[in-house]
Structure 1
Amino acid sequence: MSLFDDDFYSTRVSRRTRFENRAGKQVSFGRKSGRGWTSTRIALTSSVASSLAAMLVFGLITGFHPGGSQTTAASPAIHTSVQSGDPLEKTISAAAKVRPAVVSIINEQAVSTGTDAGSDSAKAGDGSGLQEAALGSGFIFEKVKGKALIITNNHVIADAVAVKAVLSNGETRDAKIIGSDAITDLAVLEIDDKGIDTVVSFGESDNLRAGQWVMAIGNPLGLSDSLSMGIVSKTKRIIPVSLSQDGVYDWEQEVIQIDASINQGNSGGPLIDLDGNVVGINSMKVAEYGVEGVGFAIPSHIAMPIIQSLLEYGKVKRPYLGVYTMDLDQYLAQQAAGAKGGTNPSGDAATGDKGSTDGTTGDKSDSSGSGDGTAASGDDLVPPHGDLKLPDDVHQGVIVLQATGPADEAGLKFNDIIVKLDKQPISSTMDLRKYLYGKKQIGDDIEVTFYRDGKKETTSFTLGEKKDD
């Protein structure tokens, strides 16, 4: 998703009794009497009182009691109390709690090695090898049955032939992908848990407050075990996302906006509070020139149900409508541009919006390889053509490029324009996804209103579950 030290201190002020000489008057100590204390007596008395006070404080700290045995339990308790109240120490302890569980993720992909037969990565006999294609971060959140489970981003491990995890001590281990989800950009890996003692704990991300201090840990720019710190800029930010990385926004993600530095390689690492609890998964930043301090993390309370589904099924089960679509308003804009002597309207549509085709079919694969389609690749889809014959007041909806599964069985066809789902107006692929994923379940019935050859029609059918390719 390519969209996309402060000074702390604490002081302890002791109470002092201040005595002032006002108008040249001498302050006397002790009982009233006709006989005043001399300076010598005052100095002697103060000296004795100071000695007794010092002995008392020393005894409290060390546990020493005259005539008795020493007690050592009090000393650590006092030390801990002082440290826990120091914000600077709190950041250090929070980082120390999580850092051993943070790993670097290496995405290896097949590349041609050409004549470089001596390459360490070369595969024997086939002239190809594996090469590091992407770097990211992750963190260990659970140990079970001899395996350590790791959370990271889907885009960190996308298209990987092999994945490796580098532990905080520098050791590299082979990782297996348990499951991944392109929609939420989350993935779960597993490695052998030998020698791994630390797993993270999760905090309540929905209790975060704007201005709260947080820390990001990860592998930015390949610099492993790196920390950055900042505040929560906004606890809930909805941002548009292009799932296929083609510039067409076809999903929205709820994120935590932070001003801690998030750079390439930080993706998949933990965002923690000052108690050392994970409250988010660092995911993206705004990649615009001149933009600083705008990063995003997936809230842990949103991520954890997805993680559980990935652990149980290896994927996230979602209702399956069965249409690959293109936004009507964009097609009309391209057609208008073509009529004015611009680019071929159908040509741009064929390689543009089809790449962000409707994820309700299971995120149709496209030329950028961001999906997991069930039929042909995005390049095989035919763009809309001919007169769509729409009423003059219809300018929004989604054009069916291909119908499969339940939609095909219900009779939806190429060039149909869907305008409503269950009476809910649908203006874009994003609207269609949001309605299906947010309001419907596998096995629910759905009513689809669409236009075909200028006539409004309605059909109803049961939503299915996308099957593995």
Structure 2
Amino acid sequence: MSLFDDDFYSTRVSRRARSSSDTEDRRFLTRPRRSSRSWSQVRIAAASSLISAAAVVLLFGLFTGGFDRGSGPLADARPAVATVQTTDPLEKTVEAAGKVRPAVVSIINEQSLAVLQGEAPEEAAGEEELTQAALGSGVIFEKVKGKVHIITNAHVVADAAALKAVLSTGEVREATLIGADTITDLAVLEIDAAGIDTVAEIGDSQELRAGQVVMAIGNPLGLSDSLTMGIVSKTERVIPVSLAQDGVYDWEQEVIQVDASINQGNSGGPLIDLNGRVMGINSMKVSDFGVEGVGFAIPTNEAMPIVQSLLDYGKVKRPYLGVYTMDVEQYLAQQEAANLESGGHEPEDEGTAGEDEGAYEADGSAPEADLQLPQEVDKGVIVLEAVGPAADAGLEFNDVIVKLDKQTIGSTLDLRKYLYESKAIGDSLDVTYYRDGERKTLTLELREKAEGE
């Protein structure tokens, strides 16, 4: 029996072949020729050699994977890669990190020691002693006229009396704030460009795909020049944001969700792809108990128009209505809680949302106990203070806004989104509101926010 149970590969000689051979021998008995036995042995030896060689080649291919099985029954066993890997597959991450790391800086936010100890800013105005209040990260993205510009987060530089940038070499330089935008949590700083040669390349965040490997570079927990790696969990995630950090969600941010570790101090640093391009600015993470690997970065396609506006104007120009508000839903929840409390005292105000600055802090005023709203009206925004265009048009304390133009407004988040995404400076705006239970409408012109408003 041969290796294959098939006559094509068999070394056996069939009965028919032997019979034919005997006939030929009788027909040409008198002709001189070589021995039939000798010729058969040569053929058998040659065939055996060929079969052995074929078997060796076949077995070699089966065991090494270097042989193309085509579409035969063994085709599914073909290895995914038949070529030999000649370089370290992780070298790509090393090269990408090396390309960007010199452009990543640590940001030090210094504030008055007296203010940090609880003194009012005006009382501490004469104090000179500053101390480190916050740490963050940033990335150098352009070099212009002897200066370099750095992108970071607005919350990294908030309330700073002085700012410093620590280069990857360890050198510390004074930094100047060009502008910051709390709505998008972005800021731009400027430092002297002497000796700085590396500028990060800004990529197109729309090219990101779920599952793509990315890296976060920054200054987590004060450990400067630190690198973490993960994948893109979702390319476009919309999350609610509390601008005043008071638990009231009054804005929505479009972000890239990643599972790369982003810790305190990483904020403002770059999220890069394996080509060393900045695809996002690390901004926040979910730090609830039991939550791991949920971090967020602001996409570069969303960030760069804001950055350009900060460079051009020192701020982001947006249409300004001029109202500080509380959501009706929040107010009704507080009233219900007050009714359930024993002792009859009111719960503390859990936070109110202003249109631009966040928490309302003018005089701590809360809405009167009875807004005189129709029973079917359970959503809207209560005006706690009207300034600028709103005051000029006649809006007052305790008015409840329920519509802007034809758009229903149920919360401060709705109000902001409609103003910032659908209107522009100079546009007219119809405001529908309730005052003392009566539905009214007024028209005003949106303008840019003036200094001091």
Answer yes or no: same fold by TM over 0.5. Answer: yes
Q: Deviations over 1:233-258 (max 9, x none)?
A: 00011111111111111111000000
Cross-structure match for 2:394? 411
- 2:416 corresponds, among 428, 433, 436, to 433
Number of the residue aligned with 1:98: 100
Q: Deviations over 1:9-64 (max 9, x none)?
A: xxxxxxxxxxxxx9899xxxxxx99x99xxxxxxxxxxxxxxxxxxxxxxxxxxxx
The answer to whether the aligner puts 1:353 opposite 2:351 as a matched pair is yes
Query: Does the aligned pair in 1 maintain the 2:258–2:294 contact within 8 Å?
Result: yes
Q: Is the 8 A contact 1:381 1:401 kept in 2?
A: no
1:281 is aligned to 281
Match of 2:267 in 1: 267
Paired position in structure 2 for 1:88: 90
Deviates more, 1:278-287 or 1:332-341: 332-341
Contact 1:106 1:132 in 2 (8 A): yes
Gaps of 5+ in 2: 1-8, 13-41, 47-84, 117-124
Distance (Å, rounded) in 2 between the aligned partners of 1:212 and 1:343: 57
Structure 1 runs of 4+ with >4 Å offset: 22-25, 125-128, 342-347
Distance in 1, Cα, partners of 2:258 & 2:91: 22
Q: Is residue 238 of structure 1 aligned with residue 221 of structure 2?
A: no
Matches within 5 A, 1:320-359: 320-341=320-341, 348-349=348-349, 352-354=350-352, 356-359=353-356
Q: How big is each residue's C-alpha offset from its partner over 1:368-421, in whole Å with a ceiling of 9 and x where there is no partner?
A: xxxxxxxxxx15141101321111100000000011111111111110000000
> Aligned letter for 2:428?
D
Aligned residues of 2:338 and 2:347 also touching (Cα < 8 A): no
d(CA) in 1 for partners of 2:191, 2:400: 47
- Deviation of 1:464 after TM superposition, in Å, equals 1.1
1:342, 1:238 → 2: CA distance? 40
Q: What is the number of residues matched between the two proteins?
A: 370
SS at match of 1:406: helix
Quote how far apart the aligned CAs of 1:365 are. 5.7
Distance 1:417 1:345, change over 3 A: farther
Is 1:313 matched with 2:310? no
CA 460–126 in structure 1, closer or farther in 2 if over 3 Å, else same: closer
Structure 2 distance, partners of 1:437, 1:282, is 23
Aligned match of 2:223: 223
Structure 1 residue 126 displacement after superposition: 5.4
Q: Distance in 1 between matches of 2:302 and 2:345?
A: 39
Which amino acid counterpart does residue 314 of structure 1 have in structure 2? G
Q: Which amino acid aligns with 1:462?
A: E
Q: Give distance in 2, aligned partners of 1:464 and 1:400.
A: 19
1:70-123 residue CA offsets vs partner (Å, 9 max, x unmatched): xxxxxxxxxxx965xx53111111000000000000000001399xxxxxxxxx
Separation (CA, whole Å) in 2 of partners of 1:113 and 1:442: 37
Residues 319, 436 of structure 1: 8 Å contact kept: yes
Q: Normalising by the residue count of structure 1, what TM-score does the alignment of the two structures yield? A: 0.75
Name the CA distance, whole Å, in 2 between partners of 1:291 and 1:185. Answer: 23
Question: Does 1:254 find its partner at 2:237?
Answer: no
2-structure distance, mates of 1:107, 1:113: 14
Q: Which residue of 2 aligns with 1:68?
A: none
1:254 counterpart SS class: strand
Could you say which residue in structure 2 is the equivalent of 1:457?
440
| DSSP-derived class of the 1:353 partner | coil
Residue pair 2:334, 2:347 contacting (<8 A) in 1 also: no
Q: Would the aligned equivalents of 1:397 and 1:428 in 2 still touch at CA under 8 Å?
A: yes
The answer to whether the Cα contact below 8 Å between 2:327 and 2:410 also exists between their aligned partners in 1 is: yes
Shift of 1:207: 1.7
C-alpha spacing 1:305/1:129, structure 2 compared with 1 (3 Å) = same
Larger Rg: 2
Q: Is the 8 A contact 1:240 1:250 kept in 2?
A: yes
Report the Cα distance in structure 2 between the residues aligned to 1:164 and 1:293, rounded to whole angstroms. Answer: 30
Superposed, 1:366-405 pairs within 5 Å as: 366=360, 378-405=361-388
1:40-59 matches, cutoff 5 A:
none
Cα distance 1:391–1:295, how it changes in 2: closer, same or farther (>3 A)?
same
For 1:200 and 1:23, the matched residues in 2 are separated by: 69
Paired with 1:102 and 1:175, the residues of 2 have a C-alpha distance of 14
Uncovered stretches (5+) of structure 1, i.e. residues with no partner: 1-21, 26-31, 37-80, 115-124, 367-377
Change beyond 3 A, Cα 1:344–1:448? farther
Q: Equivalent residue for 1:3? A: none
2:163 corresponds to 1:163: yes
SS in 1 for 2:143: strand
Structure 2 vs 1, CA of residues 230 and 345 (structure 1 numbering), >3 Å: closer, same or farther? farther
Distance 1:421 1:152 in 2: 34
TM-score by length of 2: 0.78
